[in-house]
């Protein structure tokens, strides 16, 4: 049995990579058509970000919570049970 390239009797041809830094027309078309990501921050989000940094009581509470998470005391059975109860209450209110 003789194998003469892919798809029949066409001889194999070498494939050369384009030189570094050169772009083909097809690559340019793909670049132009590729979606561009964009982020828009709402006025509400900006206000919330400011609240987070300007309220000293909130900053202190966040500091306490972060410390409790770091030392492993934040998550406990009582907190889990309270969270589950709030979740069940929310589900019952929606029903």
Q: What is the pLDDT of residues 58-81, one digit of tens each?
A: 888 889 999 999 999 988 899 999
Q: How do the domains of the chain map onto residue ranges?
A: 43-94
Structure confidence at residue 87 (pLDDT): 95
Q: Which string of DSSP letters, residue by residue, matches the chain?
A: ----STTSSPPP----PPPTT---HHHHHHHHHS--------HHHHHHHHHHHH-HHHHHHHHHHHHHHHHT-S--HHHHHHHHHHHHHHHHHH-
Q: What is the pLDDT of residues 9-60, one digit of tens each?
A: 666 677 777 666 666 666 666 667 777 788 899 999 888 888 766 678 888 8
Give residue 58's pLDDT.
Answer: 80
């Amino acid at each position: 049995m003789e194998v003469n390239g892919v798809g029949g009797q066409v001889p194999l041809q070498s494939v050369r990579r384009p030189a570094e830094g050169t772009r083909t027309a097809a690559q340019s078309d793909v670049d132009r058509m590729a979606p561009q990501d964009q982020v828009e921050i709402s006025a509400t989000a900006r206000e919330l970000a400011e609240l987070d940094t300007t309220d000293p009581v909130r900053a202190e509470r966040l500091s306490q919570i972060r410390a409790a998470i770091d030392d492993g005391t934040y998550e406990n059975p009582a907190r889990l049970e309270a969270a589950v109860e709030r979740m069940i209450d929310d589900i019952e209110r929606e029903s």
